[in-house]
Amino acid sequence: MPAGVAIAGLGHHAPERVVPNAEIEARLGLEDGWIARRSGIHSRRYAAPDEALTDIALPAAEMALRENGTSAGDIGLLLLATSTPDHLLPPSAPLLAHRLGLCSPGAVDITGACGGFLYALSFAENFVRLQKKPALVVAANILSRRIDPQERASAVLFADAAGAIVLEPAADPDCGLRSLELRSDGEQYDRILIPMGGSRRPFSPSADHAALKMHIDNGKRVFSHAVHMMAESARTALDQCGIAVGDVDRFIPHQANQRMFDAVAHAIGIPGEKIQSSVSEYGNSSAATIPLTLSLAHGDKPLLSGETLLFSAAGAGMTGGSAVWRV
């Protein structure tokens, strides 16, 4: 009987509209090069006005299913990691499953912000081990609808994109998650916040309820806590499975900004050539950045059997963690 979990397919999608730094710098009155120097971002993608979350998630999922010829009818579970669903209710995952032609799989959204993909990946991996059925994880966001275009902290970073991964049973018991360290720090709960629309502060017709609000005066604190969470959870995850940092083949961090994941890599001793990055061209699409980056990296240099991958993320909540995966 299959005892491990393999990556059967990877996919990604970004909207057509490219938004260069110059457009945002001009709007905010920033000097040329200001954004790139501080974030490593040179451009990002924005969805078209008529595009919803499932519209950009769909092609990423189709690409992942197509890569290994996985039949849509074989998928037993679809998890959609997103902070920007088509609607607050119902969840968007069942609609995405329907549009993909999946045969009545389990399907639900996971709202874990930037760490959402790690949670979805761990849940899906355990499903595959238990049920011996393939699972599909999609992470997607349209954050251009949730930023205040005049608020520098969010306007310069966030973007729209999707990434997807198909998991299937594997004969090799070493394939799949080797260790997982998930963390949260609720003391930092309100550092990155969409202030209205939930049960604490319902919608108000007189307020801007759609804006993603980051407290600018706490930007350094967010950075510090995120680096600490990612680095400490990565060390713990590696220690748990007895893998030395030098044996990691690829480090795929959440693409918050380049300074952040460079700091994490430095803290845990991972050389720059092992960091997989997409932030320069695609910006920060929250939960989507890890599968997006992994799919792009796989396209440039295909994953090989036996490779060790290290994932790490931290974001709003704060929630995040790290995972070690054996291909």
Catalytic residue list: 114, 254, 284
Residue with tokens 């299959």: 2
Cis peptide before 173 (omega within 30 of 0): no
| Pairing, β 77-81 against β 135-142 | parallel
d(CA 13, CA 244): 33
**Cβ-contact 19, 315 below 8 angstroms:** no
Is residue 118 classed as helix, strand or coil in its secondary structure?
Answer: helix
Q: How many CB atoms lie within 10 A of CB 326?
A: 22
**What is the identity of the amino acid at 217?**
D
Tell me what percent of the chain is helix, strand and coil, each rounded to the nearest 5.
Answer: 40, 25, 35
Q: What is the chain's alpha carbon radius of gyration, rounded to the nearest angstrom?
A: 19
**What is the identity of the amino acid at 103?**
C
